[in-house]
Amino acid sequence: MGDKTDVWQGTLALMVLRTLESMGSLHGYGIARRIEQTSGDILSLNYGTLYPALLKLEQEGAIASEWGTSENNRKAKFYKLTRTGRKQLQKEARDWEQTTAILARFLTPAEDQ
């Protein structure tokens, strides 16, 4: 396996929201692990980055949390997507698609445009 790369700035919220949309309620470690798995274990998620992002999303109303018990019988905070979060996910996904389309134009050789 090659070197892991850090999560790109500005993409973590989108990945968290999409993970919660597809997987349902998860605790922080579960979110981090799922993001890493989805990337094919190419991305490395710094947990010191994840928890502030979760706090920010919760303060914005995009996710809600409640305490529960994890698979290994430990107390854990579980996060779930809210209605506001679904709207935010749709907007951020559209913005990301537009951004990647613009960047693709710069990466395409001039003769192909």
- pLDDT tens profile 57-109: 999 999 999 999 988 999 999 999 999 999 999 999 999 999 999 999 999 87
CATH of the domain at 34: 1.10.10.10
The total domain count for the chain is 1
| pLDDT score of 10 | 74
pTM of the model: 0.85
Confidence of residue 1 (pLDDT cuts 50, 70, 90): very low
Helix (H) or strand (E) holding 93: helix 83-107
Residue 82: give the domain boundaries. Answer: 5-112
User: Interior CA angle at 93 toward 68 and 11, to 5°?
Assistant: 65
Distance CA 77, CA 54 (A): 11
Confidence of residue 46 (pLDDT cuts 50, 70, 90): confident
Which tokens belong to 31?
A: 């979110």
Contact 18, 89 (CB under 8 A): yes
